[in-house]
Structure 1
Amino acid sequence: MRIVVNNIAASQTGALTILKSFYDYVDCYEKEHEWIFLLGAPYLEEKEHIKVEVLEKVKRNWLNRLTFDLWNGKNYIKKWNPDVVFSLQNTITFGYKGRQIVYVHQPLGFQKVKKFSFLKKKEREYAVYQYLIGSLINASIKRADKTIVQTKWMRDAILDKTGMDHEKIVNILPDIEDKYCPKEEEEEAFDNHLFFFPSGDILYKNHETVVKACQILNKKGYKDFQVLFTLKDLKSVTDISYDSGHGNIVCAGKLMPEELFSFYRKGTLIFPSYIETLGLPLIEGKMAGSMILASHCPFCLEILEGYENVKYFEPFDQETLAAYMEDIMTGRLKRKKSKAENRGKDKSSWFYVVKELM
């Protein structure tokens, strides 16, 4: 078979991770097929069974990208005469009459927690994704031969919004690298005054609720605790000025995977995000047996179903979050000893994705 993989949009960490993970899989295990990757930059290496086409002009700006997706792209893809087109960028190529399958991992248009505003500068980009790009994603799902998502909540949300047939929306949980996950014999002492939240500077990650919870704890006299963010500074995520004078919040910047798993083992993961497709730290924390304080949102409930070391709070309820942090620090809430979860599979999740393409 000849498969065109369209991911011209990929440029940021999450999208590139998905792209490279899929590329690595087909490079190793799908050599009997011909793969043509359409990219915006030369991220991948060509192989005997893999061709890489870089369309820099298409990637250059939104107008070029929309022009390609809505009008010109169909003719470009048609010349390759593919058996199927697989889009890793949430949208199909409109007007192309051949078989198309779309991988949807953009949740903004399907969540109901937050309505972003075009009038607020910090929310404008999110509003574009929620309403404008969200409309293109909806239209793509309705026209695609099949849609693949990562979680059940996304599948249910798409079915609810689009009214599509159930068999056209497939849920395949992605692979999670576990080489840094502790072995059963490895154990680090639990520090009940250490909390952390690994996340980029994205508005809906909701760092502000954690900052407000820290302020509450400071007012109650708590000084000897630390919350670690993987940010450069707080200014990128909140307008709140915070300086307790005790170093309670530390912006450590990006951490290496082995450092992250060390924190999962010895500290408490706070996960206040109210919009996620998957929530990777939840899976990693669960694998490591972490104590977790998570937002009461569908993706958290799905990923952490049946997990003992978790307490939930409403995403904008800093009082409840502060109360749980206090309970952990005072020992009223203890981490239960649990085996690190092994998510090993006989086959990669990409095996099941490729199966849908055939």
Structure 2
Amino acid sequence: MKQKTIVISGINMVEGGIFTILDNCLQKISVFSEKEKIKIIALVNDKSKFNYPNIEYIEFPRSKKSWFLRLYYEYLYFNTLSKKIKPDAWLSLHDISPNVVAKKRFVYCHHPTIFFKPTIKDWKFNFKIGLFSRLYKYLYRINIRKNEAVFVQQHWIKKEFENLFKLKNVVVTIPENVVEKKSVEIQLDSNKIHFFYPSFPRSFKNFEVIAEAVKLLPDSIKNKIEIHLTFSENDNNYSKYLVRKYNLNVFNFTGKISRAEVFGYYNKMDCLLFPSKIETWGLPITEAKGFDKPILLANLPYAKESIGEYKKVSFFDVENPNELAKLITSFVNNTIQYQGNKAIFEAKNQLQDWNSVFDFILKN
């Protein structure tokens, strides 16, 4: 049987949730290749970040330098590269359907901003968020019909894509919760109740609702809690604004931390906060659920689909800090009555893990 070649492209996936997607994918396909006769070529920004066997890495260290370079790689250089590699399958993990030659082409779409209506604040602190909310609709459209399948993370996005791009080959692919094997021991004050929100400082992540909720808390509650946020003042203009406006005693600005440290916090924290206004999944939700931790969650469709069947969750309006303040208070006082959540989609209508995705790609 002829060995099949699969290219996995993730040259722009360097941090946060999108890096986790790439890292998890490569970790799982490395193991998958031990049983299947396949050759794997991974296109990445920095190959030193990966150490998974059975994978040939091609590095593109300049891919984040500018959008001009990104588009050059996707629509020009990759065409030449694909003719040289002659892959059986090409999987683009970061939204864009490149101009490549392959027997089968697939794209994994996870950029949420085409469904986001930016405010003046969003334009002010991150012009790209506003721009991408307009631009990505057109970037998604280029070559999208040339794919064998378009992978998305949730059912509500599947419906949006089917309507927006008139597609019939959209496949829901649930992000697999690949637990970090290495976990750093985190030391937290045992006299405090610890909340955690691991997220890069982008305006749609909605840190303000947490800060405004804290301002509403009585001192008797404030003195009992610590909220850990994974950024520092100097990360970007938005983080400077947040730290200077809301430098409250309850906040611990950790700065950027490793995946192993994130999992260390999951292990030690008391409760996850997740108030983001838009996500195509929200990996911390799944990860905290894996640790069986309580979660206070945005009352939005993405969040309910991400959490699935779970008892220890309650929801709040992302524009209403008073609702969140009440939930924090009841959690601290140990009087909280969780709303809970039920799964609304059947597993048979979706791919459940990376192995299912690889089987789907390589079939026939």
Whether TM exceeds 0.5 here: the answer is yes
**1:213, distance to aligned residue in structure 2 (A):** 0.6
Aligned to 1:322: 325
Aligned residue pairs: how many?
331
- Residue 139 of structure 2 aligns to a residue whose secondary structure is helix
Is residue 41 of structure 1 aligned with residue 53 of structure 2? Answer: no
- Residue 158 of structure 2 aligns to a residue whose secondary structure is helix
Match of 1:310 among 309, 313, 324: 313
1: distance between equivalents of 2:192 and 2:61? Answer: 50
1: distance between equivalents of 2:334 and 2:91? Answer: 51
Is residue 158 of structure 1 aligned with residue 164 of structure 2? Answer: no
1: distance between equivalents of 2:41 and 2:180? Answer: 30
What letter is aligned with 2:177? Answer: I
RMSD: 3.3
- Residue 294 of structure 1 aligns to a residue whose secondary structure is strand
Is residue 260 of structure 1 aligned with residue 262 of structure 2? Answer: no
Provide closer, same or farther for how the CA distance between residues 91 and 18 of structure 1 changes in structure 2, counting only shifts above 3 A.
same
Match of 1:121 among 119, 124, 147: 124
Aligned to 2:231: 231
Aligned to 1:242: 246
**1:237, distance to aligned residue in structure 2 (A):** 5.9
State the identity as a percent: 21
Is residue 251 of structure 1 aligned with residue 253 of structure 2? Answer: yes
**1:137, distance to aligned residue in structure 2 (A):** 1.8
Provide closer, same or farther for how the CA distance between residues 40 and 303 of structure 1 changes in structure 2, counting only shifts above 3 A.
closer
Aligned to 2:177: 176
Equivalent runs, 1:1-358 vs 2, <5 Å = 1-31=4-34, 32-43=37-48, 44=50, 50-56=55-61, 60-94=65-99, 96=101, 98-109=103-114, 111-112=115-116, 114-115=117-118, 120-165=123-168, 168-178=169-179, 193-218=193-218, 222-226=221-225, 227-233=227-233, 235-236=239-240, 238=242, 241-243=245-247, 247-253=249-255, 254=257, 256-264=261-269, 267-334=270-337, 349-358=353-362
Aligned to 1:340: none
What letter is aligned with 1:250? Answer: N
Structure 1 length normalisation: TM-score?
0.79
2: distance between equivalents of 1:262 and 1:57? Answer: 36
1: distance between equivalents of 2:203 and 2:128? Answer: 10
**2:8–2:42 CA contact under 8 A, matched in 1:** yes
- Residue 77 of structure 1 aligns to a residue whose secondary structure is helix
Kindly provide the CA deviation profile for residues 170-227 of structure 1, in whole angstroms up to 9, marking residues without a partner as x.
Answer: 11222213478xxxxxxxxx98954332222222211111000111114x87442322
1: distance between equivalents of 2:145 and 2:180? Answer: 38
**1:2–1:82 CA contact under 8 A, matched in 2:** yes
Provide closer, same or farther for how the CA distance between residues 237 and 107 of structure 1 changes in structure 2, counting only shifts above 3 A.
farther
Structure 1, gaps ≥5 residues long: 181-189, 338-346
Structure 2, gaps ≥5 residues long: 182-189, 341-350
**2:89–2:361 CA contact under 8 A, matched in 1:** yes
**2:216–2:322 CA contact under 8 A, matched in 1:** yes
**1:118–1:124 CA contact under 8 A, matched in 2:** no
2: distance between equivalents of 1:46 and 1:250? Answer: 34
Provide closer, same or farther for how the CA distance between residues 336 and 289 of structure 1 changes in structure 2, counting only shifts above 3 A.
farther
Kindly provide the CA deviation profile for residues 264-298 of structure 1, in whole angstroms up to 9, marking residues without a partner as x.
Answer: 4xx22221111222212212232333222111111
What letter is aligned with 1:304? Answer: I
2: distance between equivalents of 1:40 and 1:329? Answer: 43
**1:351, distance to aligned residue in structure 2 (A):** 1.2
1: distance between equivalents of 2:55 and 2:314? Answer: 46
Provide closer, same or farther for how the CA distance between residues 311 and 28 of structure 1 changes in structure 2, counting only shifts above 3 A.
closer
**1:106, distance to aligned residue in structure 2 (A):** 1.4
1: distance between equivalents of 2:152 and 2:305? Answer: 14
Kindly provide the CA deviation profile for residues 146-168 of structure 1, in whole angstroms up to 9, marking residues without a partner as x.
Answer: 11123333323322322311xx1
What letter is aligned with 2:112? Answer: P
1: distance between equivalents of 2:195 and 2:291? Answer: 15
Provide closer, same or farther for how the CA distance between residues 119 and 335 of structure 1 changes in structure 2, counting only shifts above 3 A.
closer
**1:203–1:237 CA contact under 8 A, matched in 2:** no
- Residue 232 of structure 2 aligns to a residue whose secondary structure is coil
What letter is aligned with 1:333? Answer: I
Farther off after superposition, 57-66 or 311-320:
57-66
What letter is aligned with 2:228? Answer: L
Aligned to 1:183: none
2: distance between equivalents of 1:203 and 1:8? Answer: 24
